[in-house]
Chains A and B, each alone.
Chain A
Amino acid sequence: MRRSPRETAESARRISRRGLILGGAQLGFVGLLAGRMNYMQVEQADTFRLLAEENRINIRLIPPARGRIVDRNGRIIAENEPTYRITMVREDAGDVQKVIGRLSMLVELDEDDLNRALAEMQRTAPFFPVTVADRVSWEDISRVAVNAPALPGVTPEVGLSRIYPMNDLFAHVAGYVGPVSERDLSRYEDPPPLLRIPRFQVGKVGVEAKAEEMLRGQAGAKRVEVNAVGRVMRELDRREGEAGGDVQLTVDAELQDFVKARLGEESASVVVMDLEKGDLLAIASAPSYDPNEFVRGISVPDYASLRDNDRRPLASKTVQDAYPPGSTFKMVTALAAMDAGLVAPDETVYCPGHMEVGGRKFHCWKRAGHGHMNLEQSLRESCDVYYYDLALKVGIENIAKMSRRLGLGTDYDIPMSAVSSGLIPDKAWKKRERGSDWVIGDTVNASIGQGFVLTSPLHLAVMTARLATGRSITPRLIKSVDGIETPWRGGSDMGLNDSHLKQIARAMYAVSNSRRGTAYGSRIIADTMRMAGKTGTSQVRNITAAERARGVTRNDDLPWERRDHALFVNFAPFDNPTIAVAVVVEHGGGGSTAAAPIARDVTLQALYGGLPPLDAYPSKDRSRIRALHDRLAREKRAREAEGNDRA
């Protein structure tokens, strides 16, 4: 369009004006952008830098080595061994099926595990290592390593797993570990991140579970750089974890081993306690099981056979099971009566073989009766009627009080699973739990450790320890952690009359050393090692009137599971007691025949700290003892040879 010069100038003027206005506005906006950059990159730089680092850096935990469990002499009860597994990374493998095919020619692969691994590979990111074979042997690992070029994406990996070199010896004490379960996590309000590490093991039962915090240690960590999809690009730095503490138990593996051998096929339990600090030298429950099977993952049939075995290998009978203490309870009744000033040691009671209380007839184990009995005689020969008579005088409340002073019916703070507190009944308890009033017959039953009274073998050992020393000894299972001795509280004087305790001790000495004592057959000959004990036999069932009419059935005629439990408690040496022992043989029959010999053998073994001289035994027992020692020595040699092979 033709324009006049004037018009052209006007146009240019207008455009220049508006162009500059717009240019100014544009520069203003650029200023805004620059301001925003300044805000983000200068003022907020630290915040954003932090966010970028959080994006980039991932912290991966390194599991710590679990602390070992050793016995009082440093012998290893639980430690860690390297285990090998084979992992595979999908993207590195390329053709997964082909690589698996080659791998299966070298290593035996479990069909189920393999399918699970393949499914997991499809689910997870392609760079994520998936375990295709677990717990493979060193030979398998070597074969895989040698053939590595033909197996892209396949990596042998080493981890640590728990092993119990003594197998079943301390299964009930040390327990075992297993993978973290939902239940383990639910115990924490805020579960430690360590527990989320795949394949991490935590204690499930026993010391492993109870001393978990000491054994576990501190996780290490490595910082890795990851990209947006989580692939690890490189490791930035790492801090090694702190291994868990080594837990030293008070137990003596050699003594425990002897106890196990001595118990043999019995369903029985033994507690040996040191009287100085309450150290549990042996705490054995038979039969036992191999905790290693649980760590590896026990098969369903194997587990079922343990569970359904009527000798209950899974049960920790020393602490978990509470039995009627039977006659081993008589010291409590006697001491309660003396403490209440109701009986003098020389006072006699006439035993006609039974006693009528509240219209009911209570029998003595000896149907013919014991005749006139004083305290020492009644304990020595275990006369029941004497204690029925005491019970009527002293009453249940005094008996219950004395029981608790002697450590019965209470919880001990020892790191084992399912520790029973036993039961010492009194009037309030019966009203509360049974909803009925206490009757005099209950007191009579309780006086000889029957009826409601329940004690675990550990309780009996503590009771015996307190009777022997007059001090309030409590059991101790953990001797030290990482070399630092665990403090022991207890052992203060209980304030019991010294002469009363001496009376009881003398009577117990008579049980084992007097010709008329119920445990005379299981005495110790060596003068400096003589022991004082008490037999007990606790009924598993009530003797019915019909049975009594037929004459009390002999234990040997009954099926195993209906026979009486055999009990024995003792301390030794008599002059200067150093250990207390409690033995319970389930369905063993009588305490004097089934439990006392075991207690005597264990006591000697403990006192001599190894094989006792044969002349400490009564001559009739010597050949049997020698055979047992020979067998133990053979087994020990065999085990050591096996240990050398493994090493």
Chain B
Amino acid sequence: MSYLEYNTKTAPTGWRKVLHLNWPLVVLLTAVASVGFLMLYSVAGGSFSPWAEPQMKRYALGLAIMFLVAMVPIWFWRNMAFVAYLVGLALLLAVEFFGSVGMGAQRWIDLGFMRLQPSELMKISMVMMLAAYYDWLPLKKTSRPLWVLLPIVLILLPTGLVISQPDLGTAILLLTAGGLMMFLAGVHWAYFATVIAGGAAGIWAVFQSRGTDWQLLKDYQFRRIDTFLDPSSDPLGAGYHITQAKIAMGSGGWTGRGFMQGTQSRLNFLPEKHTDFIFNTLAEEFGFVGGISLLVLYVLVLVFCIFAAIQNKDRFSSLLILGIGLTFFLFFAVNMSMVMGLAPVVGVPLPLVSYGGSAMLVLMVAFGLVQSAHIHRHR
């Protein structure tokens, strides 16, 4: 294949690859993860167990996997894109039939040593698949209807499976990430205008469907939307979590209440304080300064991805890097919106900070791909 030609001559080989890693990105990721360790230590009441220690081990494992993935030439991963996508789809189907039910949703497969959450995997597989597709597609065909329809199918297949789990949060992430991948690839504006108009109509339809036979969302999803729109309507019921989360965040003030001094999280008023709502613990204990610092770290990760993509002349590589940066952005943007009361609570973790295995490992694999694309770029 063609990309072999222009890369083999200039790309580093062997151990020299390590020198060509995007080291600032590694430092940034570690900084973000360290914020996570600190907060997990705090919410456990000043203890490494039960959360901080496993999280650190997982991050170490993730870091190793990232290096491993980075060492493998990016063209190998391009070739594997379609396989990864198919495996992802197959696992989603497997969840449908053999998955464990947790919190009212079928989300993971118990592999014995870990719980695999195929929807997490799919976020990366789909980005890879779309990047590979647009790399393969001749540039001038990008906006032709038939060639637009195909990626839409590629996006909707996994999205549909995820919705049926049901996991609305991930489905929205997949849909948004997929759509924006198409945008990045250069699909014509008109398509997006049409979809946005259609989406608005769709939202209207969803609200209209409430209480009818053809109700499009589950009752609990509607309730979450209600609670989001007016948390004070039910401050001790469904709105309790978001109300307490906002109190935790707001009470932090400018510099916070001090490390391990956050009353909302320490006294258990804050729900899911080690997973989805960990940002509120940070905001409570370190205040506006702490919250903004983490946000800045995230933005830096994003900026490094965008620059790495622009530097990279390979279509697959740059689309992949942008796509992974985008996925990362969607993670923290949706989570933060949610915990600040800007979006309904949909159950999206804060990337690299929230306690949790699959999400972190998948993200580290993704950044491994970014590193691989960076090392093996055309110079």
A interface residues, Cβ below 8 angstroms from B: 1-3, 7-12, 14-16, 18-20, 22-23, 26-27, 29-30, 32-34, 36-38, 40-42, 44-45, 47-49, 51-53, 55-56, 225-229, 233
Closest B residue to A226 using CB positions: B267
**Contact (Cβ within 8 A) A33 B337:** yes
B253 contacts chain A at the CB level, 8 A cutoff: yes
Whether B267 and A7, one on each chain, are in contact in the complex, defined by CB atoms closer than 8 angstroms, is no
Q: Give complex CA distance A26, B325 in Å.
A: 10
Chain A residues with CB below 8 A from B337, complex form: 33
Which residues does chain B contribute within 8 Å of A55, judged by CB atoms? 244, 247, 263-264, 267, 269
Name the contact of B319 in the complex, choosing from A15, A36, A42, A233 (C-beta under 8 A).
A15
Binary per-residue interface labels of chain B (117-143) against chain A in the complex, 1 for a CB within 8 Å, 0 otherwise: 000000000000000000110110000
Q: State A55–B309 Cα separation when bound (angstroms).
A: 48
**Which single member of B186, B249, B291 contacts A15 (CB below 8 Å)?**
B186
B1 CB to nearest chain A CB (Å): 8
CB-CB under 8 A from A48, the residues of chain B are 246-247, 249-251
B372 to chain A, nearest CB (A): 18
Q: For residue A206, give the distance in angstroms from its CB to the closest CB of chain B.
A: 44
With a CB–CB cut-off of 8 A, which chain B residues contact A227? Answer: 267-269
Residues of A within 8 A of B295 (CB): 30, 33-34, 37
Contacting B253 at CB < 8 Å: which of A1, A12, A41, A233? A41
CB of B74, distance to nearest CB on chain A (Å): 15
Complex formed: what's the CA distance from A233 to B45 in Å? 14
Q: Is the CB of B342 within 8 A of A36?
A: yes
Could you list 18 A-B pairs, sorted by A, with CB under 8 Å? Answer: A14-B139, A15-B319, A16-B309, A19-B184, A20-B310, A22-B180, A26-B326, A34-B295, A36-B340, A37-B340, A41-B283, A42-B254, A45-B250, A45-B251, A45-B253, A52-B250, A55-B244, A229-B268
Q: Which residues of B contact A51 (CB under 8 A)?
A: 247, 250-251
A12 and B246 in contact, given A18-B184, A20-B306, A51-B251 (Cβ under 8 angstroms): no
Q: Report yes or no: A15 in contact with B184, Cβ–Cβ below 8 A.
A: yes
Question: Chain B, 325-343, contact with A by CB distance < 8 Å: what is the 0/1 string?
Answer: 0100100010011001010
> Does any Cβ of A come within 8 Å of B315's Cβ?
yes
A56 and B263 contacting across the interface, CB-CB below 8 Å:
yes
- Interface contact A26-B292, CB-CB below 8 Å: no
Contact of B136 among A1, A34, A38 (CB under 8 A): A1
Chain A residues lying within 8 Å of B299, measured Cβ to Cβ, are: 27, 30
User: Is the CB of B313 closer than 8 A to any CB of chain A?
Assistant: yes
Determine how close the nearest CB of chain B comes to the CB of A24; give it in whole angstroms: 10
Do A15 and B318 touch (CB < 8 A)?
yes
- A41 contacts which of B183, B288, B303 (Cβ < 8 Å)? B288
Those 6 A-B pairs whose CB atoms lie nearest each other, nearest first = A48-B250, A52-B251, A227-B267, A45-B253, A2-B2, A228-B268
Cα(A229)–Cα(B139), bound, Å: 61
In the complex, the chain A residue whose C-beta lies closest to that of B270 is A228
Assess whether B268 is in contact with A33, with CB atoms less than 8 Å apart.
no
Check A40–B249 contact: CB distance below 8 A.
yes
Also in contact, A12 and B342, with CB within 8 A (given A23-B306, A45-B254): no
A549 CB to closest chain B CB (Å) equals 83
Are the C-beta atoms of B333 and A41 separated by less than 8 Å? no
Which of B2, B136, B306 has the most C-beta atoms of chain A within 10 angstroms of its own C-beta?
B306
Residues in chain B near residue A18, CB distance under 8 A: 183-186
Interface pair B309/A37, CB less than 8 Å apart: no
CB contacts (< 8 Å) of B329 on chain A: these are 26, 29
- Chain B residues positioned under 8 Å from A2 (CB to CB): 2
What is the interface of chain B mostly: helix, strand, loop, or mixed? helix
In the assembled complex, the Cα of A10 lies from the Cα of B250 at a distance in Å of: 48
Query: What is the 8 Å Cβ interface bit string for chain B, positions 3-25, against chain A (1 contact, 0 not)?
Result: 00000000000000000000000
Does B250 lie within 8 Å of A44, measured CB to CB? yes
Residues of B within 8 A of A225 (CB): 263, 267
The answer to whether B288 touches A22 (Cβ under 8 A) is no
Point out the residue from B136, B246, B269 that lies within 8 Å of A228, measured CB to CB: B269
Which residues of chain A have C-beta atoms less than 8 A from B288's C-beta? 37-38, 41-42
Output the least CB separation between A438 and chain B (Å). Answer: 68
Q: A26-B326, A52-B247, A52-B269 are in contact. List 8 more A-B contacts (CB 8 A).
A: A15-B185, A19-B318, A38-B288, A40-B249, A41-B253, A48-B249, A48-B250, A52-B264
- Give Cα distance in the complex from A53 to B253, angstroms: 13
Q: Closest Cβ of chain B: how far from A555's Cβ, in Å?
A: 73
Q: Beyond A37-B291, A47-B250, A225-B267, is A1–B138 a contact (Cβ under 8 Å)?
A: yes
B263: A residues at CB distance < 8 A:
52-53, 55-56, 225
B248 an interface residue at 8 Å Cβ cutoff? yes
Q: Which B residues touch A20, using CB under 8 A? A: 306, 310
Kindly state the separation between the CA atoms of A2 and B6 in the bound complex, as whole angstroms: 11
B333:A22 contact, CB within 8 angstroms: no
Q: Is B322 an interface residue (CB 8 A)?
A: yes
Given contacts A22-B184, A55-B269, contact A40 B340 (CB under 8 A): yes
Q: Find chain A residues with CB under 8 A from B249 CB.
A: 37, 40-41, 48
> Do residues A12 and B318 form an inter-chain contact, with CB atoms below 8 A?
yes
A19 CB, min distance to chain B CBs, angstroms? 5
Minimal beta-carbon separation of A460 from chain B (angstroms): 63
Docked complex: B256-296 residues within 8 A CB-CB of A? 263-264, 267-269, 283, 287-288, 291-292, 295
Q: Does B252 contact A (CB under 8 A)?
A: yes
Q: How far is the CB of B44 from chain A (nearest CB, A)?
A: 15
What's the least CB distance linking A235 to chain B, in Å?
15
Give bound CA distance, A561 to B87, whole Å.
Answer: 104
Does B63 lie at the interface of the complex (its beta carbon under 8 Å from any beta carbon of A)? Answer: no
CB distance from A370 to the nearest CB of B (A): 85
Cβ–Cβ < 8 Å partners of A1 in chain B: 2, 135-136, 138
- Confirm or deny: B373 has a beta carbon within 8 angstroms of a beta carbon on chain A: no
Contact between A41 and B291 (Cβ–Cβ < 8 Å)?
A: yes
- A45 and B326 contact, Cβ closer than 8 Å, known pairs A1-B138, A56-B267, A228-B268: no
A12 adjacent to B313 (CB under 8 Å): yes
Are A233 and B267 interface neighbours, CB within 8 A? yes
CA A27 to CA B326, docked complex, whole Å: 11
Measured between beta carbons, the chain A residues less than 8 angstroms from B186 are: 14-15, 18
The residue among B247, B295, B318, B342 with the most chain A CB atoms within 10 A of its own CB is B247
Question: B340, A33: Cβ atoms under 8 Å?
Answer: yes
Complex interface: chain B residues within 8 A of A14 (CB): 139, 186
Any chain A CB within 8 A of the CB of B302?
Answer: yes
Q: Which residues of B contact A233 (CB under 8 A)?
A: 267
Q: Please tell me if the beta carbons of A37 and B313 are within 8 angstroms of each other in the complex.
A: no
User: Could you say which residues of chain B place their CB within 8 Å of the CB of A45?
Assistant: 250-254
Bound: A227/B246 CA distance, A: 17
Q: How far is the CB of B206 from chain A (nearest CB, A)?
A: 23
Residues of chain A contacted by B326 (CB below 8 angstroms): 22, 26
Most buried by B among A11, A15, A27: A15
User: Shortest beta-carbon distance, B91 to chain A, in Å?
Assistant: 29
Are the CB atoms of B184 and A34 closer together than 8 Å? no
Q: Are B251 and A15 in contact (CB under 8 A)?
A: no
Query: Please, how many angstroms separate the alpha-carbon atoms of A215 and B319 in the complex?
Result: 82
A32 to B332, CA, bound (A): 13
Q: Complex formed: what's the CA distance from A109 to B86 in Å?
A: 72
Cα distance A336–B319 when bound, in Å? Answer: 118
Q: Report the bound CA distance from A514 to B272 in whole Å.
A: 98
Decide: A15 and B309 in contact? CB cutoff 8 A: yes
B318 proximity list for chain A (CB < 8 A): 12, 15-16, 19
In the complex, chain A residues whose CB is within 8 Å of the CB of B139: 3, 7, 10-11, 14
The answer to whether B336 touches A33, judged by C-beta atoms less than 8 angstroms apart, is yes
Residue of A1, A10, A49 with highest tally of chain B CB at under 10 A:
A1
Bound CA–CA A129/B295 (angstroms): 46
Question: Would you call A40 and B322 a contact (CB within 8 A)?
Answer: no
B318 and chain A: residue at smallest CB distance: A15
Q: Please, which residue of chain A has its CB at the minimum distance from the CB of B137?
A: A1
Report the separation of the CA atoms of residues A227 and B269 in the bound assembly, to the nearest whole angstrom.
7
Q: How far is the CB of B231 from chain A (nearest CB, A)?
A: 12
Residues of B within 8 A of A34 (CB): 292, 295
Min C-beta distance of A588 to chain B, whole Å: 67
Residue among B139, B251, B291, B342 having the largest count of chain A Cβ atoms under 10 Å: B251
